Amino acid sequence: MQSFYEGLADILEIEISEVSGELNLSEINWDSLAFISTIALIDECHGIVIGGQSLENCKTVGDIEKLIEDKQKGK
């Protein structure tokens, strides 16, 4: 997850130390560009494609992590 956190920090224009599972996406620069860039980042870091609807339901970075884990497990 380290490379994902680094990429996410870059996308959100925040320090990597601010990225954690508890980070609330509504409290940061979570706009349409960040949304699309995060989909691309997940594909780059984990080799999986996340649908926009699934990502839209995420409220925290932890929710995104759970989404990635579930997708990797085939859920």
| Domain extents in the chain | 2-72
The pLDDT tens digits of the residues spanning 5-20 come to: 999 999 999 999 999 9
CA distance 71 to 75: 5
The maximal CA–CA distance of the chain, rounded, in angstroms, is 32
Q: What is the DSSP letter of 20?
A: S
The secondary structure element, H or E, covering residue 52 is helix 52-56
CB atoms within 10 A of CB 50: 20
Is 3.30.1330.60 the CATH number for 2-72? no
Instruction: Check residue 73 and report its DSSP letter.
Output: T
Residue 21 confidence class, pLDDT cut points 50, 70, 90? very high
Is the C-alpha dihedral spanning 30, 6, 64, 21 positive or negative? negative
